[in-house]
Structure formats: structure tokens, C-alpha cells
Structure 1
Amino acid sequence: MTTHPSERAGQPETRGIDLVSDEERVGRPRQLFAVWAAPNVSYLCLPVGASLILMGLSLPQAIGVILVGNLLWVCTGVVAAAGPAAGTSGSVISRAFFGIIGNKPVLIVTSWLLAPAFLALNWSAASVAGIGLAGQWGLPDSPALDAVMICLIAGVTVLVAIYGYATIVRLYTALSVLLTVVFVVVSGYVINAVDWSYAPADPLHGAALASAFGTGFALIGSTALSYTNSPDLARYLPRSSSITSIAGWTALGAYLPSAVFTSVGALAATSLDMADPQAALETLLPGWFVPVFVVAVIVNTIANTGMTAYSASLSVQSVWARVARIPAVLVIGAVGTAMTLYALLVFDFLDSVNTMLQLVVVITGPLMAVAVTDMALRRNRYDGARLLGEERGGPFWYRGGVHWPGLLALLAGGLVSLMWVSTTFFTGPLATMLGGVDLAIPAGMGVAALTYWATARALRTIVTDSPESLLPKDTILCTPTSS
């Protein structure tokens, strides 16, 4: 079994969305555990968990929402199994859902626009932590220091994305262990300070409790639903890899740290003022450990955003095939850096970004539902060569390059989700009727899945027997490209 030089740890990965041949497939599904654990041993889990207590939930209620909401990582795991089946990235596989042409606007919205926003949000949080540590060390607070800190974090992130898959697999295995050790220590100090007798001053009942449950579920579930890029990290696995193993190791790697450390955030909120989570936690930690914690926050951010930048570069290629993967990483990194600098140095728009991310489930929920439904309908059979070939008249050209069942399902699910969403910025009419109960995720995903299943079956655009039967009988297929 041979390995392309660019797929070796410590060397930049030059491969982009092009097909990974069976001879180049390496690894086992269990390596996905660490790949997904490292980004989710996350500082951001702590304030998210605390926010559930601030909503008025009791501790058992908050932990229940955390355990249930994180189950949506199963969707991320299931979708990951398409990577080895097709041998290419998720942004190419989605051509099967939306068509060669119809896929492009979806990627522009979900990856080109949202990915830099995710980078900016995470880099801003990490930069604030790093700037605070620099202040404790006596460095004067200044815009120049802020800019240097942001550029350093962004630069290391971009390097991780440039070195790519093999380096991510090797590096994240070590990082998952180191970050877990640091956050377990932090968790120990938090647990020691927990007010186990805590109860909300005004316990929620009826519609108010249902509203808090819905909002909390949307907040927890939005993270898992944003990772439709999971095939990108699984595409180098052998085609014969077990679907159950791929889905299980991916979901478990993300679920465990997310559930545990989000619960720690909820525990912390019983006795600490988590309005400023970093400052609150530092009151519990010994002075010598504070720098270790801050460095861990920054390293986790790099692990999280490195994966985001890597997948975003593949999405750029999927839309604009002429650009190489490494220049695409640089473009995404530059846009994210500019947004972060603007956020911290010119105008504080992070509240707006947070609200936007709450609304992201309107897109990511239906998109994930379409992806899972398509996998079920096709029995996870994807012709990677033809997906990459962009053939006119090919099995993924459909009608004019658009697979209307996919786009209709995405739009229908998004519209229904928008009507059920409930945020501080916008509350949909159906959510308003029920006192602010947020059902954006189940409603949007359910409608998207049902619409896709019904329309694809009615139009007979998906048949599972062979790639040649993916279209009606009068379709003329081009000769498939060599794999």
C-alpha cells in the first residue's frame, strides 16, 4: 500500500478534492476518535454549559439537555462514512444532493461565508485569553499587541490546515491527550467549588420551561450540525472500512468531551459568575496553572479552527476548481484574520456573530438532514470519479446541473426552521405562538428529510442499483473518468 508524499505527517498536503485511489487508502476508523476529540475538548463548552443555568434551568435539567443535544453528533458520524465510499471531500459528495451546478451556491453560503465567521469567533475568544495573559506578564495593552496575538493564532491555524490530513491525524492524537489532562484538572477545581444545593431562584414551569429546553437544545445541537465536513477527515480510510465503526468513532470522539466539559460549565455556573468565564475560572485555579490553562485554550482553538480552515479550502476548490488547495487555505485564513481584527480593533460585532451562529441551525440542520437522507437512499454508494468529473449528462448533472429535490428540501427545511427559531435577535412566528419554544432543529431537519425523500422518490432521481441508474432511462451518460 503506497502513500502520496503530501499525505505524510510533517509535509504540506498538496492533494485537494481529487480522488484518493484505493491503493493510497490508509488507517483505521478508530483514529477518528482523537481527530474529533481534540477540537471538542473546548473552552467554549464551558460558557455554553453555563448559559443553560443562566436561562433558569436546574442542574439536572441542564445536564439532561447537554446529554440529549450532543446526540446529534451521531449525524456527523453517519455522514463521515460517505468519505471512504466516494474517496473525496464532503463538498464534492454534496454534488450528489444538489447537482454539479446547484451545489455551488450552497457551498458559497455554508463554507465561504460561514467558515471565516467561525474562524473569527474562535480566534477572537482565544486572542482575548492570550492578551489577558500577556497583560498579567506586564506587557502593555495596545492595538499592536492585539494584532500580533491574532496574527500568531491565525498563522498557526493556517499552517495546520496547509499541512493537512496526515499531520492533523498525528498531531490531534497527542493534543487530545494533553488538552484532556488540562481540562480535567480545571474540572477538578470546578467540581470542588460546585454548589450542589443550587436551585433556580424562580424555577421554570410550563411554557417558560419548554422554551428554555428548546433554546438549550438548539444551542447544544448547533455545534454538531455545523460539522457536515466529516467526510473530509475520513476519505483516506480504506473503502472496506465499516460504516458503523466510522460513524461510531467520529461521534464518540466528539460526544464525550462535548458532553463532559459542557456539563462542567453548567456545574461552574452554580457558584461562579460565568459572565466572564475566563476570569471566573482563574479565581479557582492556582497562579502557576493559569498560563497552562490559557495556552490550552489557544491550542484547542487552533485544533478546532485548523479543521475548519482545512475543509473550507476543499469547499473553495469544489466551487472554483482552478485554485490549488494551499492558496485556498491562505484565502480563507486571510478573510478570517481580517474579520477577527475588525472585531477586536475597530468594532465589537461579536454579539452579532453569536446571534448569527444561533441562526446557523436554520441552514446546517436541513443540510445535515439532506446528507443523511441521501446516504440512506443510496445505501452509501457514491461514484467519486463521476462526482469529480462534472460531466454534462452524467449521473450527477440531473436537469441543467441541478438536483431539485435537494435544493427544495434545503429551502423547505430552512423556511420551517426559521419559523421555529427563537433568539434574542429574531423569533419566528411559530415559536412566538408557543411562547418562544425553539423547535428549529427537529422541525427543520424533519421537513428537509421528508421533502428530500418524497421528491427524490417521486422524480426517480436516486436508484441504488448502479451509478448508471441514478437518472431516468432517457438520460445519456458520458464515459466515466478513470479512478
Structure 2
Amino acid sequence: MTTTNDTTSVSPSGGRGAERAGQLETRGIGLVPEDERGGRPHQLFAVWAAPNVSYLSFVVGATLILMGLTLPQALGVILVGNLLWICTGIVAASGPVAGTSGSVISRAMYGVVGNKVVLVLTGWLIAAAYLALNWSAASVAGIGLAGRFGLPDGSVTDAVVICVIAGGTLLIAIFGYTTIVRLYTALSVLLTMVFVVVTGYVLAAADWSYTPAEPLKGTALAAALGTGLAIIASTPLSYSNSPDLARYLPRESSSVAVAGWTAFGAYLPSTVFTVVGALAATSLDMSEPEAALESVLPGWFIPVFVIAVVVNTMTNNGMTAYSASLSIQSVGVRLARIPAVLIIGVLGTAMTLYAILVFDFLTSVNTMLQLVVVVTGPAMAVAVTDLVLRRNRYNGTDLLGQQRGGPFWYHRGVHWAGVLALVVGGLTSVMWVNTSFWTGPIADALGGIDLAIPSGMIAAAAVYWAMTRALRSIPRI
């Protein structure tokens, strides 16, 4: 049996990609022709900065202080944890070379059939969970704003706010690449201006001499540092989809520039505003982040801040929904990209409603960020290792071909090196993770020290390197 080649059958509509902002992008996972590519790597800075000028960064930074870390310890965790944006940048470099989406490039790692199974987990479920996480953050703020305008408090209002935010986000994903690049360039400036104002008020109120009532020591300190690193690093590790937007750059674009601008665009705002969140927690009760931040802002500015929070979340989730729709196509579901966006949006909205109406927001954030790294860490390690072994030489036409016996068919459609690396890395992470939901046996034996990220990534990279060498599944270049 021979499967179809999706190089040309990119979507049922057969449309070309959008060429102007405001045009619907109908291209799915198909190869981006050279004559439809353009731009320069530096444009990726704004694309990645806009979603990371983030209210969620305030929340995460405050969490580090609430865990009992001192201010210098929290700052160290933030600076180190965000360095994993380098991995996001490295993976992005494969986009211009391959000219297709990250969910297709990963066929090189897992095989045509194996990749479909992996994408159900990494491209659908985790993407939907991140949609829910970010929409939850925006919805908490939006619901508060609705109350200020006199709307009745209750589940109906909450549900309406969530659905409006989700709808606006999906519009961004539907219009696609060109709109994202143009829109995010402007929004990165506007959001930065709003959050800089918030930063000014936070800095004025911060307790620069802050010391926890009972400073952590020994094993307790090591456990808090490990957990903090897992929370911070979980965000960059979730973006294995970074080639999706870089694929529109010319093939000859510098890989170093693509990697650098992607990583720097995300690292800078993520680090800065997570630090601000930590500073806020030195003097404010950040167990309710929105109320705490609003307490130091002038009344007239609060609606501006809340709107910025909502818009920021929409920019973040716009990229996630865009990539998740491509993952749906990569699995083999015969859907155009736009209906695929709507499907992932419905799933994420349902999870958001459940998170907001059933669970505590702050608990949901921390637990999810720690748990997803058992998958995203090893997956990122496999992607980076594969790129290094191949020296970033990917052929988009070969990747899009799904015929039996093709270069990425491997053994019955599965590249066991990638699958086993992901499984071993994930199981290793599970042994080291420490959350309120689950504590791995090794983490428990060591007093709760969470080393899920380094252990899982090292194990996955080592297994992938060894297996590809043993199977000779990657040609030596």
C-alpha cells in the first residue's frame, strides 16, 4: 500500500498562502515556493517578542518568591531557565531550509507513521493545554474587567468572556503568517509600552531588601530551585513549532541569524517581565496576581492594563493555534488549515472553561508547567540532536513525501531511534519530576528535588544519538 504525497495537496481548497496582511492564509503544510518567500531573520524578533511581553511572566516570577526563594535566587533561576530559548531558536533554523512546518520536519525524527502518533500528544493535546493555560490567564483578567463595567458576576459571564477571547485568538491564527508578522510588530511595541508602565509602578513598590521569613536551606532550597527552573524552562521547551513561521524566510537565510533573532526575541521580554513578577511579590500579595498588580496602578490605567493582558494572551495563543492546525494536517486528517484551527480552538476553549470554573488558576498554572516538561523536554532534545546530526540539511520535498520506501519511511513507517528516545526521555523525566499532582520516585527519595528537564533531555539526546548511529538511519555528512 502506498500513501499519498502531500507536497502538492496542501489543502482541500488548493489555495495559495496569503501574500498580504489581512488575507486569509489557506496554505497548510505544503512546501512554500521560493517566489513566495521573503523578509529577513530580524523580523522574527517582533514575532517572538509580542507573545512573551506577558502577564503570565508576572505570575510565574511571583511564584518563585511564593515558593520561598530569595530575590537573588529567583533572579538566577529566571536568567538560567530562560536560556532554553536557545533550543527554540536552533529548531527554528530548520524552517527556511525545509520550507515546511515543524510538524512535517519531525518526520525525520520519528518516521512518517511514528510522527503521527507523536503529534497527537505534542501537537494536539499539549497545544490545547497551552491554549487553555493562556486563555485562563486572559479570562481571569477579562472577567475582572467585565465586573468593572457592571456585568453580572457568574458562570454565564465567565463563559462569554472566555469564548470572546478564544474567538479573537482564532481569527489571528486563521489569517495566518503575513498578518501575524505585521500585527505582532505593532503589538510588540504597544504591549511593551503598557507593561513598562506597570513595571515602573511595581519597581516603586518593590521591597529590594526582601528576605523570606524562613529562608530555605539544604534539600528544601535545592527542591525549590529545581521546581523553579522547571516552571521557567517549560515555556521555551513548548515551542518546538518554531520552524512554522521561519519557513517563509528565503532558503538562503542565515541559520545563525534565524536562531539568534528567534531566541533573543523571546528571551528578552520573558526574562524582564518574569523578573518584574518576582519583584512584585516582594511587597504585594501575588496569590491573586491581577488584584495585586491593580492595587499599585492608578484607576484610569487598570482597564488599559487588563486589555493589554488579554491582547498579549491572544498573540501567544494565535501562534499556538496556527501551529496546532498544521499538526492536525500532518497527522493525515483531510482538513483545510482554517477548519483545523477551529477544531483545536474548540478543544482549548473547553479546557479553559473547565480550568476557570473548576480549578484554582495559580495551582493550574504551576502544575501544568511542571508536568508538560516530561514530554516537551525530551521532544526538544530529539529535535535539536537531529538538526545537529544532519547539519540542518532537510529536504522539504522528501519530508512531504509519505510513500512506502521513502527516505523517512524507515522501518514500517517508524524511526525507532526517535520514538525510543522520546519514551526513554519521558520516563526519565517522570522519575525526577516533583509536582502537587505527582512526585517521581527519584525526586521523592532526594527530598523533592526536581531535575525532570535536564535528566529527560540528556537521556533523550543520548538515546537518539546512540540509536541513529547503531541503526545508521542518519547519513554521516
TM range (shorter): over 0.9
Provide the identity percentage. Answer: 72
Map 1:24-63 → 2, pairs under 5 A: 24-63=36-75
Per-residue Cα deviation, 1:119-146 (whole angstroms, up to 9, x for no partner):
1222122112111112112222133322
Post-superposition offset of 1:280 = 0.5
Q: Which residue of 1 aligns with 2:351?
A: 339
1:378 maps onto 2:386 in alignment: no
Question: What is aligned with 2:234?
Answer: 222
Deviates more, 1:10-19 or 1:354-363: 354-363
Map of 1:28-427 to 2, 5 A cutoff?
A: 28-345=40-357, 347-348=358-359, 351=363, 354-427=366-439
Corresponding letter in the other structure for 1:229? N
Distance between the aligned counterparts of 1:421 and 1:248, measured in 2? 30
Is the Cα–Cα contact under 8 Å of residues 117 and 353 in structure 1 kept in the other structure?
no
| The 10-residue stretch of structure 1 (143-152 or 86-95) with the greater mean CA deviation from structure 2 | 143-152
Whole-Å separation in 2 of the counterparts to 1:8 and 1:464? 41
Partners of 2:31 and 2:104 in 1: CA distance: 10
Once the two structures are TM-superposed, the CA of residue 352 in structure 1 deviates from its matched residue by 5.1
SS in 2 for 1:101: helix
Distance in 2, matches of 1:146 and 1:244, equals: 45
- Return the alpha-carbon distance in structure 2 between the equivalents of residues 122 and 256 of structure 1: 19
Q: One-letter code of the match for 1:142?
A: G
The Cα of 1:115 is off from its aligned counterpart by: 1.4
1:163, distance to aligned residue in structure 2 (A): 0.2
Distance between the aligned counterparts of 2:224 and 2:200, measured in 1? 28
Q: Partner letter of residue 83 of structure 1?
A: G
Structure 1 residues 248 and 368: alpha-carbon distance in aligned structure 2, compared to 1, 3 A threshold: same
Answer yes or no: is the 8 Å Cα contact 2:19–2:36 preserved in 1. Answer: no
CA-to-aligned-CA distance 1:229-284 (integer Å, 9 cap, x gap): 00001000011111110000000000000000000011011100000011011110
Structure 1 pair 23/290, CA: closer, same or farther in 2 (3 Å)? same
Q: Please tell me whether the aligned partners of residues 97 and 370 of structure 1 are also in contact (alpha carbons under 8 angstroms).
A: yes
Q: Distance in 2 between matches of 1:356 and 1:193?
A: 30
The one-letter code matched in structure 2 to 1:316 is I
Which residue identity lines up with residue 138 of structure 2 in the other structure?
Answer: A
Aligned to 1:476: none
Structure 1 residues 380 and 148, CA gap change in structure 2 (3 angstroms): same
Specify the code of the residue in structure 2 equivalent to 1:207.
T
CA gap of 1:454–1:160, structure 2 versus 1, over 3 A, is: same
Contact conserved, 1:86 with 1:384, CA < 8 A, in 2?
yes
Match of 2:451 among 439, 448, 460: 439
Whole-angstrom distance in 1 between the partners of 2:93 and 2:434: 32
Structure 2 CA distance for aligned equivalents of residues 63 and 296 of structure 1: 25
The alignment partner of 2:216 has SS state of: coil
Give the conservation status (yes or no) of the 8 Å contact 1:381–1:464: no
Q: Cα offset for 1:147? A: 2.2
Counterparts of 2:331 and 2:16 in 1: how far apart (Å)? 24
Whole-angstrom CA distance in 1 between matches of 2:348 and 2:369: 15
Verify the 8 A CA contact 2:355 2:364 in the aligned structure 1: no
Contact kept, 8 Å, 1:379 with 1:464, in 2: the verdict is: no
- The code of the aligned residue for 1:348 comes to F
Displacement of 1:349 in angstroms is: 6.9
Distance 1:153 1:245, change over 3 A: same
Q: Provide the C-alpha distance between the structure 1 equivalents of 2:147 and 2:436, rounded to a whole number of angstroms.
A: 33
C-alpha contact 1:25 1:238 (8 A) present in aligned 2: yes
TM-superposed CA distance for 1:148, in Å, is 1.9
CA contact (8 A) 1:397 1:403 kept: yes
Structure 2: tracts of 5 or more residues without a match: 1-14
Figure out how many residues of one structure are paired with residues of the other and give that number.
Answer: 462
Letter in 2 for 1:174: A
Give the drift of 1:342: 3.3
Q: Is the 8 A contact 1:81 1:247 kept in 2?
A: yes
Do the aligned partners of 1:78 and 1:247 also contact (CA within 8 Å) in 2?
A: yes
Letter in 2 for 1:451: V
The 5 Å alignment of 1:443-458 reads 443-458=455-470
- 1:354 deviates by 4.6
CA distance in 2, matches of 1:433, 1:377: 36
CA distances 1:3-42 after superposition (whole Å, capped 9, x unpaired): 9562321101000000012222111000000000000000
Q: Alignment partner of 2:23: what SS? A: coil
Q: Which amino acid aligns with 1:421?
A: V
TM-score when scaled to structure 2?
A: 0.95
Unmatched 5+ residue regions in structure 1? 466-483
Structure 1 residues 264-273 or 355-364, which shifts more?
A: 355-364
Q: Spell out, residue by residue over 1:410-443, the C-alpha distance to the aligned partner (whole angstroms, 9 max, x if none).
A: 1111111111111111111111121111111111
Q: Structure 1 pair 348/203, CA: closer, same or farther in 2 (3 Å)?
A: closer
User: Which deviates more from structure 2 when the two are superposed, residues 371-380 or residues 105-114?
Assistant: 105-114
Contact 1:33 1:250 in 2 (8 A): yes
Distance 2:130 2:47 in 1: 19
- Tell me the TM-score normalised to structure 1 length: 0.93
* 2:59 counterpart SS class: helix
- What residue number does 1:471 align with? none
User: Following the alignment from structure 1 to structure 2, what is the Cα–Cα distance between the partners of residues 62 and 374?
Assistant: 33
Once the two structures are superposed, what CA deviation does each residue of 1:274-303 show, in whole Å capped at 9, x if it has no partner? 000110111100000000000000000100
